[in-house]
Amino acid sequence: MCPEKMHVDQLDIDVSLVRRLLAEQFPHWTDLPIVRVKSAGTENAIYRLGDDLAIRLPYRPVNTTQVDKAHRWLPLLSPHLPLPIPVPVAKGTPDEGYPSQWSVCRWLPGENVTLDRLVDPSQAAKELAKFIHTLQQIDSSGGPAPGAHNFFRGIPLADRDGYTRAAIAKSTSLVDSDAVTTAWERDLQTPAWGEPPVWIHGDLAPDNLLALSGQLSGVIDWGGLAVGDPATELLPAWNLFQHESRDAFRTEIDVDDATWARGRGLALSVALVALPYYLETNPIIVRWARHMIDEVLEDHERN
């Protein structure tokens, strides 16, 4: 389980708070067992409620808009998607001791995806690519534009330049500054997405993908949901897949070289920003960030 305080404005959340919120707002669930879910997630505390439900409580009040977004859009997207997603079933309101909205959703069984939990990583790569294609083909009219609510995923790569370079400056003892700067500047030259925006999950990281019996079984944590640049959905190419499975993902996702480069640039930017920010508070995120940086640099060498 990640440390309790990753953000200066992080709220105090524990089982007693969850139980009190349930008792006041959803008393019909108060007899169900409540168990905290071990997670490296940085935006929500997750508790399992009984066998079939999960409770998500934002760590910070600024993320309360994610609750509204999930309740509006996930029930509409879910029927069209080839993998299960956690559809909300109830929305909690701010209360004494907890100033944010929160949600109850369906529990999806499975383990966080790793390559060694997949029977055939290349087949999983193809299935995830098909999921992404399906999501992006759903009518995005009225969908939320990228912004603070989704960590600005889906914005033009150039808009990330300032804080990416700032992160590189903070990480001179942690990364090869010359190599990551060269890689960043190369992908930054890629033309911006010029077509209509599409639905994006926004954070397709291994801890947001589930596997059962060696197969992909669900996609969770939709806090990054927005309508934006489809290159955002290429993150698994560097945060999960490697070698043959990455090649399978790229073949199946079938994007042009510019979109691939924007996705790679985003992966590098996300990793560089996360590395110094979570260095002392979330070792799992730090490990993933280092892995992504290494994979991006390797991809540059190959291409």
pLDDT above 60 (res 1): no
User: Is residue 68 within a helix (H) or strand (E), and if so which, with residue range?
Assistant: helix 64-77
Length of the chain: 303
pLDDT at 62: 62
SS3 115: helix
pLDDT tens column, 108-142: 999 999 999 999 999 999 999 999 999 999 999 99
Region 212-219: what's the mean pLDDT? 97
pLDDT tens column, 33-65: 999 998 767 788 999 999 999 999 998 776 678
pLDDT above 50 (res 143): yes
What does 260-298 look like in DSSP terms, one character per residue? HHHHHHHHHHHHHHHHHHSTTT-HHHHHHHHHHHHHHHH
Region 173-190: what's the mean pLDDT? 97
Residue of 92, 105, 110, 15 whose CA lies nearest to 52 = 105
Distance, C-alpha 261 to centroid of its chain:
19
Residue of 128, 169, 168 whose CA lies nearest to 271 = 168
Region 247-273: what's the mean pLDDT? 97
Region 9-20: what's the mean pLDDT? 88
pLDDT at 227: 98
Domains, in order of start, for the chain: 15-106 (3.30.200.20), 111-302 (3.90.1200.10)
pLDDT at 2: 43
pLDDT at 12: 84
